[in-house]
Amino acid sequence: MTTKRNINVPFLKWAGGKAKIIDRIKELLPEGKKLIEPFCGSATVFLNTNYKHNLIADTNNDVINIYTHLQNEKIEFLEFCRQYFIPENNEAEKFYDYRKEFNETDDKRLRAALFLYLNKHSYNGLCRYNSSGGFNVPFGKYKKVTFPENYILNFIKKAKNAEFVVQDFEATIQNAQAGDVIYCDPPYVPLNASNSTFRYVEKIFSMAQQEKLAKLAGESADKGIPVLVSNHLTEFTEEIYKNAELTKFSVRRSISCKGDQREKASEVLALFR
């Protein structure tokens, strides 16, 4: 399902999603046989490009788990997820019961379905875990939550040409081959202390890892495999991306649920080639 801008919308809500800048990203992505995403998140770039092959990776097991179940079970899994999207489940007591069940279950299929439920019912669509690996986002208090059927169906169609793997960015980039194109959307460098401890997975993505990513991107480009990286524009990122072609712009941040608190921030797309 597409919007008026002809954007294929992800079925997952995602802080830092790339729908607002997908046109800029597509303009810079080189042609190639395979798209590789080491930080896939809600997979906006995958959904809005048409590479023949796609390697969609992330260290977040829950993201890859739900993608894999949709790829393998298709409509059957969609219907399994639908049962959680009833008005009676859009209330705090039910939410925290399901969140507890999600954190305790070893059933991957159930966990995948509950991940979709939590993603749509939790505060601002955040995906956050505590130091023990437990999902800890609070209830979102939405008046109505709609089951994203059409967006899921679109994902199922696109998933025919994809491989989904749980893998860290280092292995994902180092395993790339000639003809591949890599797009990296790492957890952004913090602009202030308030978001410097955000836990997308159990461990924080450190500044040393930001530097490692930039180094690997340069090494990949030296082998003829282009890499496009998105991030906040700061003195730090300008320094670590100094050997790349930089495209700088401003975008309104959407991490706040209050419109009057969504300020513009400077971003950068760094193309190593």
**Residue-wise DSSP of 75-100:** HHHHHHHHTT-SGGGSSHHHHHHHHH
Instruction: Specify the CATH number for the domain of residue 140.
Output: 1.10.1020.10
Nearest-angstrom CA–CA distance, 164 and 182: 15
Nearest-angstrom CA–CA distance, 146 and 265: 30
**What does the pLDDT read at residue 202?**
44
CA distances to 27, 138, 211 from 98, in Å: 41, 12, 38
Q: Which two tokens stand for residue 125?
A: 């669509």
**What does the pLDDT read at residue 259?**
46
pLDDT tens for residues 175-228?
Answer: 999 999 999 999 999 886 544 434 444 457 899 999 999 999 999 999 999 999
- Does residue 99 sit in the same domain as residue 138? yes
Fill in the amino acid letter for 194. S
- Does residue 55 sit in the same domain as residue 78? no
- Does residue 102 sit in the same domain as residue 236? no
pLDDT tens for residues 129-183?
Answer: 998 999 999 999 999 999 999 999 999 999 999 999 999 999 999 999 999 999 9
**Is the pLDDT at 253 greater than 70, yes or no?**
no
**What does the pLDDT read at residue 232?**
96
Looking at the structure of the chain, the number of domains it has is: 2
Instruction: Specify the CATH number for the domain of residue 210.
Output: 3.40.50.150
DSSP reduced 3-state for 41: coil
**What does the pLDDT read at residue 251?**
86
Domain that holds residue 76: 68-150
Does residue 83 lie in a domain region? yes
Does residue 200 lie in a domain region? yes
63 burial (CB, 10 Å; 0-12 / 13-18 / 19+) is buried
Does residue 14 lie in a domain region? no
- Does residue 172 sit in the same domain as residue 50? yes
If we measure between CA atoms, which residue out of 47, 73, 34 comes closest to residue 158? 47
